[in-house]
Amino acid sequence: MTGRPAAAQDQGEPAPEHDEEHNLRRFATIWGRAIYSVTATSMTRVEFEAHLVPQARVLRETLRARPFDPRPAVAVGAALVDAHCTDPEALPSILGVIDAYLVLYCPPPADVPADEARIRCSRLQHAVAVGFSQALRERTLSEQESISRAALGAQAEAERALADSEAKLRAVFEGAAVGIGIADMDGNVLEINDAAARMFGGEAHIRRRNVSDWVHPENEPAIRGLNGELVRGERDGYHVEKAYPRADGTVLWANLQVSLLRDTEGRPQYQLALLEDITERRGLLQRLRHQATHDALTGLPNRALFFERLDQALDPDGPTSRIGLCYLDLDGFKTVNDSLGHAVGDRLLVAVAERLRACLTSDDQLVARIGGDEFVALYTDPPGQEAVTDLATRILDALAAPIALDDRDLRVHGSIGIVYGPAGSRGAADVLRSADITMYRAKEHGGNRYEVADPDSDARAITRHGLTNRLPEALERGEFFVEYQPLIGLEDGAVLGAEALVRWGHPVHGVLGPDQFIPLAESTGQIVPLGRWVLEQAARQAREWQLDHPGGSCAPRVNVNLSPIQLHHRDLVAEIAGVLEETGLPPGALCLEVTESALIGADEDALKPLRRIADLGVAIALDDFGTGYSNLSSLRWLPVSVLKLDRAFTRGMRRHPADPVDLKIVEGIVSLAHSLDLTVTVEGVETRTQAEHLRALGCDHGQGWYYARPGPPEHLHHLSLADAG
């Protein structure tokens, strides 16, 4: 091509610079048009062309420079790569436009010959190509490097995150207080944490073993079934209490939660076991249950356990068809106790218990101590009446030989009342009463013998006893009276109140304690008027104390026992409200004691009256706590504000040092009670040692001979006045 572009000549005498600039832009436009379609730029065409103008200018100046040096054109190649002409195929287009149009639109000075111009243009293209290739290579390398770096970084990041999360899990796993174990679906143990190893008594004992290796006779077969379902993926977990053999041969009781871990496709992959060691808790509960059901002195089953067994045996729906019962009362024990003292009396009872135990010949016989010197042997499904009388004979024989204590030979005899008959028709109290009456008959016949109950003699005995029938009359005649036993604040020894205890001043039998007539009153319903009378007395008395103590707050309160029968009497709530009204006693100064056994298993209907009473502001105490075996958690919803701990718990504290298990149990109960906002009263405090232990354990109130015996109301008055002074 020769000559100037026509466009340049059309401009009638324009300024040469303007001309120049215009041609430069023309060149850039042609250039842009050729390259744009092979770039990846996101600029618009117009923008892209504008972007090329400076590059075109560099080419023009380089073409014209003197001396000629093509090197600045290298930068143009690089600049095009920067503008995202990264396709190697773009280069021919880039160079093609320079070759065809650069000299034409941006001619070198006139003195440069055409040949020379051509050569310069070629060298320029060469330089542009070098710049383009170098830049493209560098760009490629640097992008490769940056993406590799990013990939490595991302990989490291992912690994670190993985390691972090593994480390976190590992820490949780290792540091967990619960035992954690992981097994595969065949039961092979893959991993266990330290806590689990400790529970089992050594890592070697569990690592690389199979879950099915640990069999323990105490486990229910059902657990195996559960695990089978889990392994087959039919369930996602289960929760049981399970026994395991420990490395040292002892048993580990665990609260076990097993869950299934599935892979991302949902297939069962691992079994995850969480174990909590409940061996000690279980042991403690068993001790607690044992304590609650056994007589601390003799170790024999106590009244509660006896009644439980008797109830079971008498249950019409139960497996037992007949029962035999020997009710034994020691003749002459009272004399020993009175003349030689409690300590000797206690040792005598222990020796008697020992001999009674020896009289049992099979598992279906049980001997219990149910009162001071009263024992009872229960025989479930005896082969016949003779088997029961044989047992009674063995007992009498066992007691025939004197008991040597220190240097003394003590003689005790027994009188036994036997009940033998079918189960399912009579209640426990009825059976026992019958045995009791029969025992009296044996006593009346001179003792050291047994008698067998029969309905006729029972009836006669009852009329002879006469207590039952005389109850209503006795109430009218005012033969009952109330004694008060102080309740003491353990913290400061202050008299806080008293428990009202009813007595019967029997014209013939002398003063009878509640044990002797309350069961009768309950069985005849007389307990309702009697209970009401006691409540009135006690409330009036408490009101008097209050009036004597205008100070108010330290005025003694009064505790009154409420029988389960009263609890079911529908006027109870109204009566209590009425008594409070009449006497003017503030409800807060009254506390009603209900036995644990009366509330256990009570449904919401049965509890309703009690809730209403509590709503009045009257306190409710749970009496004899610990003799039943209430679900401790039921305390949460009973309307109770005081726990009265049974004296069984304080026996072990008479000694020094105290029985650590007793201490632990009481401590546990106290903390539980306090966490439920209940105050704890302890009965049967007999020694200073006991009192100190109980105070240290956080018990709130105490009651017992150590402080005061039950007595007339004036006693209490003196006590509290003395205390106030």
Burial of 405 (C-beta count, 10 Å sphere; 0-12/13-18/19+): middle
Shortest distance, CB of residue 34 to other proteins, whole angstroms? 13
Residues 260-299 contacting other proteins, CB under 8 A: 263-264, 269
What are the C-alpha distances in Å from 140 to residues 35, 38, 175?
20, 17, 51
Beta carbon of residue 680, minimum distance to other proteins (angstroms, whole number):
48
**Which conformational region is residue 208 in: left (phi greater than 0), alpha (psi within -120 to 50 degrees), or beta?**
left
Minimum CB–partner distance for residue 258 and other proteins (Å): 17
Residue 210 near other proteins by CB under 8 A:
no
Cβ nearer to other proteins, comparing 136 with 388: 136
* Smaller CB separation from other proteins, 84 or 549: 84
Of the pair 191, 615, the CB lying nearest other proteins is at 191
Neighbours of 53 (CB within 10 A): 16
By CB under 8 A, residue 42 contacts other proteins: yes
Stretch that binds other proteins, among 99-107, 159-167, 492-500, 506-514 (CB under 8 A): 159-167
Residue closer to other proteins, measured from CB, 175 or 427: 175
Nearer to other proteins, 9 or 140 (CB): 140
Residues 6+ apart with CB under 8 A from 103: 1, 63, 117, 118, 121
Rank residues 41 and 524 by Cβ distance to other proteins and give the closer one: 41
Nearer to other proteins by Cβ, of 43 and 360: the residue is 43
Segment 161 to 180, residues that bind other proteins, using CB under 8 A: 161-162, 165-166, 169
Residues 690 and 654 sit within 8 Å (Cβ to Cβ) = yes
Question: Which residue, 154 or 696, has its beta carbon nearer to other proteins?
Answer: 154
Give the interface segment with other proteins, choosing from 151-159, 215-223, 352-360, 387-395 (CB under 8 A). 151-159
136 vs 453, beta carbon nearer other proteins? 136
**Gap between the terminal Cα atoms of the chain:** 135
Q: Does 195 bind other proteins (CB under 8 A)?
A: no
CA-nearest of 346, 520, 345, 367 to 433 is 520
Length of the chain: 725
To other proteins, the closest distance from the beta carbon of 291 in angstroms equals: 45
Q: Is 188 in the site for other proteins (CB under 8 A)?
A: no
* Pick from 472, 464, 477: nearest CA to 507: 477
Contact letters for other proteins, residues 563-592 (x by CB under 8 A): ------------------------------
List 34, 43, 100, 494, residue binding other proteins (CB under 8 A)? 43
Q: Which residues of 686-710 are buried (b: 16+ CB within 10 A; e: fewer)?
A: bbebbbebbbebbbbbbbbebbbeb
- Cβ within 8 Å of residue 413, ≥6 positions away: 330, 331, 332, 396, 399, 400, 447, 448
> Taking CB under 8 A as the rule, which mask of x and - marks residues 63-92 in contact with other proteins?
---------------------x-xx-----
Here the tokens at position 468 are: 């039952």
Distance in Å, CB of 28 to other proteins, minimum: 16
Closest approach of Cβ 150 to other proteins, in Å? Answer: 4
DSSP, res 86 = -
Helices (H), 65-175: 72-82, 90-97, 103-105, 114-175
Task: State which of residues 7, 114, 151, 404 lies at the interface with other proteins (CB under 8 A).
Answer: 151
Residue 149 or 198 having the CB closest to other proteins: 149
Nearer to other proteins, 134 or 516 (CB): 134
Q: 130: left (phi > 0), else alpha (psi -120 to 50), else beta?
A: alpha
> Does 22 interact with other proteins (rule: CB under 8 A)?
no
Bridge pairing between strands 619-625 and 590-595: parallel
**Nearest in space to 452 (alpha carbons), one of 376, 378, 392:** 392
CB proximity list for 707: less than 8 A, separation 6 or greater: 486, 488, 685, 691
Distance CA 604, CA 300 (A): 35
Instruction: Report the nearest approach of other proteins to the CB of residue 211 (Å).
Output: 16
Contact 214, 244 (CB under 8 A): yes
**Which residues are registered as beta bridge partners of 486?**
498
Strand partners, 500: 484, 560
Instruction: Provide, rounded to whole angstroms, the least separation between the CB of residue 609 and other proteins.
Output: 54
Fill in the per-residue mask, 591 to 620: x = in contact with other proteins (CB under 8 A), - = not in contact.
Answer: ------------------------------
Specify the stretch interacting with other proteins by CB under 8 A; choose among 39-47, 507-515, 538-546, 677-685.
39-47
What does the per-residue mask of binding to other proteins show for 98-137, with x meaning CB under 8 A?
----------------------------------------
168/464 with CB nearer other proteins:
168
Q: Does 548 help bind other proteins (rule: CB under 8 A)?
A: no
> Which residue has 């042997």 as its token pair?
377
Q: Which range, of 147-155, 284-292, 314-322, 330-338, touches other proteins by CB under 8 A?
A: 147-155
Which residue, 46 or 204, has its beta carbon nearer to other proteins? 46
Neighbouring residues of 428: CB distance < 8 A, sequence distance ≥ 6? 307, 310, 311, 314
* Choice between 40 and 724, CB closer to other proteins: 40
Stretch that binds other proteins, among 142-150, 213-221, 374-382, 576-584 (CB under 8 A): 142-150
Indicate the SS3 state at residue 275.
strand
Q: Which residue has the tokens 């790569």?
A: 81
**How far, in whole angstroms, is CA 173 from its chain's centroid?**
21
State yes or no: residue 40 binds other proteins (CB under 8 A): yes
Q: At closest approach, how far in Å is the CB of 33 from other proteins?
A: 10
Per the structure block, which two tokens stand in for 8?
């340049």
Cα angle 557, 561, 562; round to 5: 125
* Residues engaged in binding other proteins (CB under 8 A): 37, 39-46, 84, 86-87, 139-141, 143-144, 146-147, 149-151, 153-155, 157-159, 161-162, 165-166, 169, 182, 190-191, 263-264, 269
